[in-house]
């Protein structure tokens, strides 16, 4: 008997068979598994990662690290995060509950794990790489209303699970770089096995493995090994029970990744191996490490990459030369992470979600990337701006930072009026005290309001987002924006947009003289064009603008009056990668080092990232390099 996906007649009805498209003899079979047109069975394979015991163990880190190993071998990979919540996207989720909202090039507001995939794989993702229960159900209900199920009762099985499989197979066909095919689809199932909301994802993956056949799917169970201090030893019972839940759902894991604080000892791995039917060589100790970027090499040293190739029968697709080159480049960066640092500086992040670092995860990573390349140990100070005022900002900085010192400052993005006045006060402090400064999104707007109030004397300068009794709406939602920016996110500007950079500016210097850059936006309010000329005459430089419309996108202070003061209406942290750190963060970290170590030579910091005049304000601005 032919395997379901390998039948010469894709419409044939038989045990184990399925239908190619929605609506073909639906009532005559229970094997309802729609397949996208052109899908080739056996061409693509799947790796699915499930979490047990508890959430937050690092499924995204494990999955992206394993995906990187496969990509290094010359295979094309396409990751996807399957979320159980009913929200259609992550755009309205509170950062305290869910961490930051990560924005993709196409404007998709998604889970922060997709940032981990982009950074680890150095690969831009799209809305194909993210799905929620809300999206799945919406698609099915819209089809039902159009009569596409031909009168059949619509059920979790086979229709909901069928939609999940259809999305995964579509991703396999079009989710590779440039929209091409992917050799391997990496599927991360959000939440924990046993949650009600992710049960249909688990069932869909069980069905997928059955339909695709042997060597088509590799199941990974990420679990947690407890080590209670009072006992002084590692305990595996919770891990065993968590994996048992997965097996009860019909999923036999091929690999078990054991999260723990310390290295998981062999006898504990033996217990987990015996109770999960997984060979000991495939029970991997994923204990805490100095950096997540060292995990791929640890997996390689444990032989996990070879095990995956064997499970999926992919050895013949490996490119050894590509693997050697990629491994050398990555290990060089990982060695820098672990190496002693030549410099030390303190950077304050002034936000209203300072109590939860995951709310600013991409900023944290962007600083880490820049600091590694500049050999700097950065002491991050997370300061809540909710209680900061113009009168007490210096006191708050002294109390929160202590003897370590603030050598640079970041004001991140955000929505809502809580903490905004504190951010405005921080922008003034950085401007008037020569503190290297980077403003992001709302941080950009805070600078404009502060400058209008304290330099132009517009005491009533404000943003219409927050209301109030102001008289000068220097930041507002422009009526024409609704006509020129499309409908994605309502009136939000979401996703990658072109920014035209003014030659001869700090922004031009940072971006190596490129006339246009591509950055990711997530905002609704703009600098009102009526105030741009007055702000410019008062010394504020708008060095980045929209290619066609009067939308200001980068601002700065001249380098002859401030060592480093720049802000972007976009989110530069979203495009920082380990091997290609974001220029604005490189400039900020270099300026912080110079402020912390005034006698350090430019060469010891990095000539590329420290303009001569940035170290000595009041000199003439350094001309930008000619565009390539």
Cite the active site residues.
441, 571, 573
Residues in CB range of 150: below 8 A, 6 or more apart: 23, 26, 27
List b or e across 518-530, with b for residues whose CB sees 16 or more CB atoms inside 10 angstroms. Answer: ebbbbbbbbbbee
- Closest CA relative to residue 202, chosen from 180, 220, 223: 220
Residues in CB range of 601: below 8 A, 6 or more apart: none
Q: What are the two backbone dihedrals, phi and then psi, of residue 398, each rounded to the nearest 5 degrees?
A: -65, -40
Instruction: Give 18's Cβ-side CA count (13 Å radius).
Output: 23
Q: Any long-range contacts for 503-506 (C-beta under 8 Å, 24+ apart)? A: 503/624, 503/627, 504/621, 504/623, 504/624, 505/541, 505/543, 505/556, 505/621, 505/624, 506/543, 506/556, 506/558, 506/559, 506/564, 506/566, 506/587, 506/611
Residues in CB range of 353: below 8 A, 6 or more apart: 95, 96, 359, 360, 414
Do 105 and 128 contact (CB within 8 A), yes or no? Answer: no
Distance CA 450, CA 601 (A): 33
What three-state secondary structure class fits 358?
helix
Do 570 and 103 contact (CB within 8 A), yes or no? Answer: no
- Closest CA relative to residue 511, chosen from 527, 500, 497: 500
Distance CA 102, CA 105 (A): 10
- Give, rounded to a whole angstrom, the gap between the first and last alpha carbons of the chain: 61
Within 10 A of 612 (CB to CB), how many other CB atoms are there?
11
Which two structure tokens, joined as six digits, stand for 426? 């921080």
Distance CA 193, CA 195 (A): 6
Distance CA 503, CA 487 (A): 32
Distance CA 609, CA 510 (A): 7
Do 275 and 221 contact (CB within 8 A), yes or no? Answer: no
Distance CA 289, CA 294 (A): 7
Distance CA 211, CA 378 (A): 51
Residues in CB range of 152: below 8 A, 6 or more apart: 26, 27
**93 dihedral zone (left: phi>0; alpha: psi -120 to 50; beta):** beta
Q: How far is CA 128 from the centre of its chain?
A: 15
């Amino acid at each position: 008997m032919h395997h379901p996906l390998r039948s010469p007649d894709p419409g044939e009805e038989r045990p184990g068979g399925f239908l190619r498209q929605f609506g073909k003899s639906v009532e005559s079979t229970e094997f309802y598994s729609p397949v996208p047109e052109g899908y080739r069975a056996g061409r693509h394979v799947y790796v699915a990662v499930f979490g047990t015991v508890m959430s937050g163990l690092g499924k995204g880190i494990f999955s992206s690290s394993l995906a990187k190993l496969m990509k290094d071998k010359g295979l094309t990979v396409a990751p996807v995060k399957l979320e159980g919540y009913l929200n259609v996207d992550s755009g309205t989720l509170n950062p305290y509950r869910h961490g930051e909202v990560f924005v993709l090039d196409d404007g998709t507001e998604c889970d922060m794990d997709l940032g981990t995939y982009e950074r680890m794989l150095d690969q831009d993702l799209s809305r194909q790489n993210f799905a929620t229960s809300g999206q799945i159900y919406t698609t099915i209900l819209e089809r039902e209303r159009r009569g596409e199920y031909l009168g059949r009762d619509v059920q979790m099985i086979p229709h909901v699970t069928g939609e999940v499989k259809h999305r995964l197979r579509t991703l396999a066909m079009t989710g590779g770089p440039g929209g091409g095919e992917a050799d391997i689809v990496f599927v991360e199932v959000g939440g924990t096995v046993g949650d009600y909301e992710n049960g249909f994802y688990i069932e869909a993956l069980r069905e997928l493995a059955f339909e695709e056949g042997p060597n088509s799917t590799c199941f990974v169970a990420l679990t947690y090994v407890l080590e209670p201090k009072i006992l002084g030893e590692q305990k595996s019972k919770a891990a065993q029970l968590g994996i048992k839940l997965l097996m009860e759902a019909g999923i036999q894991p091929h690999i078990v990744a054991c999260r723990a604080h310390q290295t998981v000892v062999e006898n504990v791995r033996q217990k987990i191996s015996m109770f999960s039917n997984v060979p000991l060589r495939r029970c991997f100790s994923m204990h805490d490490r100095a950096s997540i970027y060292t995990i791929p090499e640890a997996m390689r040293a444990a032989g996990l990459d070879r095990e995956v190739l064997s499970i999926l029968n992919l050895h013949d697709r490996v490119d050894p030369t590509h693997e050697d080159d990629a491994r050398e480049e990555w290990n060089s960066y990982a060695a820098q992470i672990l190496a002693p640092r030549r410099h030390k500086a303190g950077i304050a992040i002034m936000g209203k979600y300072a109590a939860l670092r995951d709310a600013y995860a991409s900023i944290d990573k962007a600083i880490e990337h820049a600091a590694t390349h500049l050999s700097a140990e950065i002491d991050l100070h997370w300061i809540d701006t909710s209680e900061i005022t113009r009168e007490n900002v210096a006191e708050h900085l002294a109390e929160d930072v202590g003897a370590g010192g603030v050598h640079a400052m970041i004001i991140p993005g955000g929505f809502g009026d809580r903490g905004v006045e504190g951010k405005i006060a921080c922008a003034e402090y950085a401007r008037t005290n020569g503190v290297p400064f980077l403003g992001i999104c709302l941080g950009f707007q805070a600078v404009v309001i502060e400058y209008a109030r304290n330099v132009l004397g517009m005491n009533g300068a404000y943003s219409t987002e927050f209301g109030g009794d102001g008289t000068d709406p220097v930041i507002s939602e422009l009526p024409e924006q609704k006509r020129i920016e499309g409908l994605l996110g309502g009136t939000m500007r979401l996703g990658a947009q072109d920014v035209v950079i003014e030659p001869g500016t700090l922004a031009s210097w940072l971006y190596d003289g490129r006339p246009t850059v591509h950055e990711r936006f997530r905002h609704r309010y703009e600098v009102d064009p009526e105030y741009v000329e007055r702000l410019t005459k008062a010394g504020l430089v708008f060095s980045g603008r929209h290619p066609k419309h009067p939308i200001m996108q980068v601002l700065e202070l001249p380098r002859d009056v401030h060592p480093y003061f720049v802000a972007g209406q976009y989110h530069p942290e979203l495009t920082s990668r380990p091997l290609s750190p974001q220029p604005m963060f490189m400039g900020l970290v270099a300026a912080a080092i110079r402020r912390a170590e005034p006698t350090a030579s430019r060469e010891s910091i990095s000539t590329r990232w420290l303009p001569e005049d940035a170290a000595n304000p009041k000199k003439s601005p350094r001309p930008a390099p000619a565009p390539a």
